[in-house]
Amino acid sequence: MRTHQLVQSWLEEQLSAGRLAVGDRLPGERTVAEQLGISRASAREGIRVLEAMGVVRAGVGSGPAAGTVITANPGAALGAALRLHMASSHLPVEDIVQTRLLLETWAAAHADASAPAMEDAGALLGAMDTSALDEKEFLRLDALFHVALAEAAGNILIGAMMSSLRESIEGYTLQLTRNLPDWPVTSARLRAEHRKIHQAIKNDDGALAARLIARHIEGFYEEAGI
């Protein structure tokens, strides 16, 4: 077993046994190394891998913010892995579209109209109405809107998966806008569709929201020639 796997297994045991929890600080590198029978450098390497996975956050300096704190950010590792696979063209576009449809239609169907994320989604709709937005900024706000809808469904893992997926395809989606015949017309249509989806959820009509978001996703990729 590799060193970082030893540290990961040790932390899993500590969490499962209730000896550590989210928000707690990890013991120092020397203590971890002694408990696992490895070098301090190896313990440091293992903790850095955990940090890259979004499991811990390393603080700097002294005081309350110092030390390595256990966090819960599953989207960090997912996003990094997906970006790498996108860069190496290991993720076919068709797979991306199908995954989005699966995640987002489920999320729209189960979104809670009273969830705080719905307020965030409403604010993002207003921000997207700004006429001075370029394609990049519009798509950034668009991605945040879709993630907010997913978070409104209340499933932490679905929200994390959506966040990491949208982040990983942001650059690719921007490239697709070059294939669109008329960006102002497309952006106006997307804004109108966003509002209909948002309103369907506010009306507690999850079935309609799921149908609308499916047409919304498919329509964009079709218009972009996918």
Rounded average pLDDT over 207-216: 97
d(CA 140, CA 144): 6
Look up the CATH number of domain 3-70: 1.10.10.10
* Structure tokens given for 87: 């860069």
Tell me phi and psi for residue 68, to 5 degrees: -100, 120
pLDDT in tens, 93-118: 788 889 889 999 999 999 999 999 99
Beta bridge partners of 68: 58
- Alpha-carbon distance of 15 to 157, in angstroms, equals 19
Q: Does the fold of domain 74-223 match that of domain 3-70?
A: no
CATH code, 74-223: 1.20.120.530
Domain boundaries, the chain: 3-70, 74-223
Q: pLDDT band at 219, cuts 50/70/90? A: very high
Question: Bridge-partner residues for 25, per DSSP?
Answer: 69
Reported as a single tens digit per residue, the pLDDT across 16-34 is 888 988 888 888 889 999 9
pLDDT for res 195: 97
**Residue 226, amino acid:** I
Q: Is 80 exceeded by the pLDDT of residue 53?
A: no
The pLDDT value given to residue 104:
95
